[in-house]
Structure 1
């Protein structure tokens, strides 16, 4: 029984206020008999429907996904308990670049929600062709650059969106405009987000949660019957934005992007590729947007820069009853960060000095039919080259200066130049069991080399890629790569009125990288001088993660339906009796949605269980469970004009999201060291005009 792929995926995986959740299968993919396995969870967004400033918050609407929030636009993607560099994120098919050493500019902040076309999460084990390093899964965010026309005549299309969020007195606006015919497409995008501190229950405010961000993008596309090319350039401009879970706030982030995506068909061979360059200038400090340190000697500014060049080239052609792909890709990155004191011209710390991390890969993949099985299997070999220039510090006094010099000397004399070579394998299988049920199986081996912070953080600091646990860390030049072996088992089930996509997973990770108590006496002495606590050192341990998640729903009538998603993950160390840090608790999101013609109304329940299985080494605090209700609706006044609005956290409950960080901003109604609470009641209104 053949079924329309996008319709089935929409029925299985749609979520509140997302008009479609479609499987973005490319036209050349094999059409299979039975229900297409839900390997891609795609959230197509409509401007204004959700009152979000940070695109990463959309992940909470997809099974297995979540977000670690360190600030209003600093959300770090989490998938099945893994987050940060372990989760591969592409923006318009190119690897994202995070410029700051603490991920204040997390990848998805470069794609504001009002400019977003879709957010795709590959469920389970990502194909080797999708990304170079995808131990924690793979996501792709695409900006809405319009569509080609149907004939030779040029038409102008686009939209203007505006939204107001009451909880932060925030506003968001966006303009999208496209001039196109059937062969040429010129698009311009603009958005601006701005808001004050977020209010929580009991009329408190989260100090340092203000934000201001602009995003600009220009692109040109061309196509004919066999080929296409898209060239784009864009800029992110973030100013005076708080990150209350981190030791500093954002003065500015200037991110520049240029890239191209190309494809062509030569006979039966499809060639595709991309080339991109990103550059980030990022300044942060610990005094301009929060209570300043009590001593002028503790004032800090961190100026960070980063750039990367990334490319890929892939060929795909028919082989046997499927398609064979062969490709290569690369991503060369450089990070530098220098810490200074505005009150002392002598003080300077080379936090990172031209820290290089270059990844080169080759892969092959086959997808097709073997009997009743749909098979996707592949292998990838990656080589990661890492190096750093010498580091040092000046302007410190006494024992602090002596200890810093000893650490710098040990680092500079160490083996900073290191190569990692490893093999990734992936096998995904599916077959129909009945007309309404499909079995999905996955096996994978995935690897990740250390991040530049994990190897090259030579001084005990909190520049840890956004861990936000309040501890100082020191890097480790002797780290090995992480190796994960994973198995997934699930079904896709659909009847005329109901659907569900449960999936179980088990992941065993050898040489998992996390902080352990440092045995470096010099680092511990210096960390104690700075923070009162000894340092943690990045090291290899053994871990495991397992759990289950699913999307589900039921059509009550032609106009009324239930939709939801359920997620659970458990993370533990295998070598010691401890839990992994910052893992989302059991959670469920269920919506009752009414849709008829131009009107949509939704009542949403969000439930999170308590999280008692916390990490001792991070001194992670337990959190209580909570539940909130959200109301939303939209009405299409004309084919061009849509009004929408709603109320989040209807009863203004005060709650703590376990994945939120701990407050480090003294100018706040939230005590220092207390976990940051969720937003209070938020009344929002929005309007979108299409043409």
Structure 2
């Protein structure tokens, strides 16, 4: 009896121990769901490495971990990059059951490992539904502090100016590589106007010559990032449709996306159409602002495997009958094709962790004339037919080390421009004669570069070393005989380096201080080298290219202060650019203009010394759970040290204040924006620049998320009907020279239907 009881007790004891061990084992096994930061949906195919275990998340984003002590978790994904978690962080995440990831830029190039320090100071602008309805990306960029635009039209072709840097001094790209060159000598079609806005997810603004991965960033880089493929667990139809109307100018806009997304393929067709007419300014004066813009195309994303993606984007932009009151001609038609193909791959458990390659082509055909210009007397009919071609590619590798990571790669860009102006004389002894001007001289530029960017992390410090080496060659394949008489050699070949070194000192979780030093060298662009007596500048003088120009040099210093808490973010950036061989122009008294309406000829020349300096300050604060505000102040000072006068086209000090509400679970969002620009007294009189008065403008809007499908936005721009114009707005040509005033009061409404 006792023996039986004894044996039974032993069995029960062993059974209890076994149950406890099994329970302990299973208690250490945790399921964690990996979700997208914005959509909060599970992310499939996330590669994980935890001790001896590795694998991929399932279709719902779940991974199963057998928790152990002192073991780090490593996650990798083609679109979300790489991130590491310490053993303590893993335990906390396991208790919460969720890991949240944010998409990195263009698959993996901006992947994060712990903390990714920005090279210098950058600003990211996410594209909302209302942004996607816009017809000009340059106009959208004005919402970014430190960016203004040169306006030659009331509604189209806004050319960005970043801290006083403009045109070829800014590296503007699509998805880190693709470029477009204005075929119009007057830049009616700047690169920003060619961006397919409704397929853009965000625009990244990198200030200064500190991030050199995407090309020669002389004054800064603006990188428009198209939406990444959104693969679905099950094949489904996706789509979005938006429309808006603006009262002042009778502006109608519409855009849409339709496609199919599945586990392996994401294919979308997109289109946008906008049209507008003349508007009235705050004084009731009518401003010529007619425009028509159609953009359409398609984007294909293919998941080749869990580690490789391929993408193709095709976009066609057509602009017709656009008024440019500040120019001698109007845009008759601009037809642009953008085509690019990309391949991205990640590699697990290797030093080489990613490889991204892209190829692109951009073809711009441009036609402009003066047929609709009111000229009294009309002495000449003029028409210009021009084209530009851009081809290139980029490849980049990323290497991950213990406490640092390195980007290394190469890129190539080919740019060409050709076109003629035809002038038919209507009066005088030459009545009926036709003259043909060789505007672009079939010029071309080849750029080949190699680059590297090394990020180094130490406790309390983050360092970035960025550099590139460019080989730049140019020639005119069909030079004008008169141009050849001025210059003995029309070909040029230059090699120039660029380098940036900087870092951030993290004093604590709230306060950091960064110092960035950069030196960039930029070869002259096609217009600066080969434009053949065409009025493309601030004044009506005809500009003459100069193939003998030396490269510009920018030696820049940025000091970046940041203070951040849970509810407050303060950022101050002070910069100074010492410029050598700055490209400007001077009047040539010995040359006669081709057009009698021009006062003379200006030739591009180098200025030995110029200076730009200034600051940007921003303050964002969460006042309560439903109210926040932000304040920004920007200023740039530019000086031509040769002529001892200000540099032209430098915007004045500007203040922006925005008050935002967030009610009923983020469904109702009111917003008020106040903007004040100071008077600009610092002007370049040698360019005919005039002083600009100060002004204040108030805008208001209300967004309503009706449900997950419908969104409405309504508002008013220039609420108090202020009569004002920007300092960078050109003046209307004619007997009465008057700047292009901005629109007066205008009401607008937007409706969007989304099934994405």
Say yes or no: TM over 0.5. yes
In structure 1, what is the equivalent of residue 362 of structure 2? 278
> Within the alignment, does 1:594 sit opposite 2:675 as a pair?
no
In structure 2, what is the equivalent of residue 503 of structure 1? 573
Per-residue Cα deviation, 1:240-262 (whole angstroms, up to 9, x for no partner): 01122222111000101211111
Per-residue Cα deviation, 1:202-241 (whole angstroms, up to 9, x for no partner): 221112x111000011121112221111011111111001
1:633-652 matches, within 5 Å, as: 633-652=702-721
> Within the alignment, does 1:111 sit opposite 2:177 as a pair?
no
In structure 1, what is the equivalent of residue 614 of structure 2? 547
User: Does the CA-based 8 Å contact 1:23-1:42 persist in structure 2?
Assistant: no
Q: Distance in 2 between matches of 1:672 and 1:419?
A: 45
User: Does the CA-based 8 Å contact 1:274-1:313 persist in structure 2?
Assistant: yes
Q: Secondary structure at the match of 1:484?
A: strand
> Within the alignment, does 1:441 sit opposite 2:538 as a pair?
no
Q: Distance in 2 between matches of 1:263 and 1:33?
A: 22
User: Does the CA-based 8 Å contact 2:557-2:575 persist in structure 1?
Assistant: yes
In structure 1, what is the equivalent of residue 544 of structure 2? 474
User: Does the CA-based 8 Å contact 1:630-1:648 persist in structure 2?
Assistant: yes
In structure 1, what is the equivalent of residue 746 of structure 2? 682
Q: Distance in 1 between matches of 2:119 and 2:580?
A: 29
Q: Which runs of 5+ in 2 are unaligned?
A: 1-34, 39-101, 426-431
Q: Distance in 2 between matches of 1:6 and 1:431?
A: 28
In structure 1, what is the equivalent of residue 160 of structure 2? 77
TM-aligned CA distance change 1:49 to 1:272, over 3 Å:
closer
Q: Distance in 1 between matches of 2:130 and 2:381?
A: 40
Q: Distance in 2 between matches of 1:551 and 1:575?
A: 34
Q: Secondary structure at the match of 2:721?
A: coil
In structure 1, what is the equivalent of residue 446 of structure 2? 358
User: Does the CA-based 8 Å contact 1:5-1:36 persist in structure 2?
Assistant: no
In structure 1, what is the equivalent of residue 81 of structure 2? none
In structure 1, what is the equivalent of residue 479 of structure 2? 391
Q: Which runs of 5+ in 1 are unaligned?
A: 8-20, 393-404
Q: Which moved more, 1:337-346 or 1:179-188?
A: 337-346
Q: Secondary structure at the match of 2:141?
A: helix
TM-aligned CA distance change 1:125 to 1:418, over 3 Å:
closer
Q: Distance in 2 between matches of 1:116 and 1:271?
A: 23
Q: Distance in 1 between matches of 2:401 and 2:415?
A: 36
In structure 1, what is the equivalent of residue 725 of structure 2? 656
* TM superposition shift of 1:32: 4.2
TM-aligned CA distance change 1:178 to 1:672, over 3 Å:
farther
User: Does the CA-based 8 Å contact 1:5-1:35 persist in structure 2?
Assistant: no
Per-residue Cα deviation, 1:299-346 (whole angstroms, up to 9, x for no partner): 110000111111111111123521122211110111001011356574
TM-aligned CA distance change 1:472 to 1:287, over 3 Å:
same
* TM superposition shift of 1:111: 2.2
* TM superposition shift of 1:196: 0.2
Q: Secondary structure at the match of 1:48?
A: helix
Equivalent residue for 1:53, pick from 135, 141, 147: 135
1:251-650 matches, within 5 Å, as: 251-266=332-347, 267-269=350-352, 270-288=354-372, 290-292=373-375, 294-296=377-379, 298-341=380-423, 346-392=434-480, 407-411=482-486, 414-459=488-533, 461-462=534-535, 464=536, 467-519=537-589, 521=590, 523=591, 525-526=592-593, 530-531=596-597, 533-541=599-607, 542-596=609-663, 597=665, 598-650=667-719
* TM superposition shift of 1:486: 0.3
Equivalent residue for 1:88, pick from 171, 177, 199: 171
* TM superposition shift of 1:424: 0.3
Pairs aligned (count): 642
Q: Distance in 2 between matches of 1:366 and 1:642?
A: 43
1:44-193 matches, within 5 Å, as: 44-48=126-130, 52-71=134-153, 72-98=155-181, 99-111=183-195, 113-131=197-215, 133-144=216-227, 147-151=229-233, 153-193=234-274
User: Does the CA-based 8 Å contact 1:34-1:435 persist in structure 2?
Assistant: no
Q: Distance in 2 between matches of 1:40 and 1:355?
A: 34
Provide TM-score, normalisation by structure 1: 0.88
User: Does the CA-based 8 Å contact 2:133-2:272 persist in structure 1?
Assistant: no
> Within the alignment, does 1:221 sit opposite 2:280 as a pair?
no
* TM superposition shift of 1:293: 6.0
Q: Distance in 2 between matches of 1:278 and 1:51?
A: 23
TM-aligned CA distance change 1:258 to 1:605, over 3 Å:
same
> Within the alignment, does 1:194 sit opposite 2:278 as a pair?
no
The higher radius of gyration belongs to 2
* TM superposition shift of 1:57: 1.9
Q: Secondary structure at the match of 2:732?
A: coil
* TM superposition shift of 1:5: 14
Q: Secondary structure at the match of 2:188?
A: coil
TM-aligned CA distance change 1:36 to 1:434, over 3 Å:
farther
TM-aligned CA distance change 1:33 to 1:286, over 3 Å:
closer
Q: Distance in 1 between matches of 2:178 and 2:338?
A: 11
Q: Distance in 2 between matches of 1:100 and 1:22?
A: 37
Q: Which moved more, 1:219-228 or 1:531-540?
A: 531-540
Per-residue Cα deviation, 1:464-516 (whole angstroms, up to 9, x for no partner): 3xx34322221222210001000000112112322111100000110000111
Q: Secondary structure at the match of 1:168?
A: coil
User: Does the CA-based 8 Å contact 2:133-2:243 persist in structure 1?
Assistant: no
In structure 2, what is the equivalent of residue 16 of structure 1? none
* TM superposition shift of 1:622: 0.5
Q: Distance in 1 between matches of 2:529 and 2:593?
A: 19
Q: Distance in 1 between matches of 2:179 and 2:290?
A: 24
TM-aligned CA distance change 1:442 to 1:129, over 3 Å:
same
Per-residue Cα deviation, 1:154-181 (whole angstroms, up to 9, x for no partner): 1122210000011110100001123112
User: Does the CA-based 8 Å contact 1:287-1:293 persist in structure 2?
Assistant: no
In structure 2, what is the equivalent of residue 42 of structure 1? 124
RMSD across aligned positions (CA): 2.4
User: Does the CA-based 8 Å contact 1:35-1:436 persist in structure 2?
Assistant: no
TM-aligned CA distance change 1:34 to 1:353, over 3 Å:
closer
> Within the alignment, does 1:247 sit opposite 2:333 as a pair?
no
TM-aligned CA distance change 1:366 to 1:136, over 3 Å:
same
TM-aligned CA distance change 1:35 to 1:348, over 3 Å:
closer
User: Does the CA-based 8 Å contact 1:490-1:502 persist in structure 2?
Assistant: yes
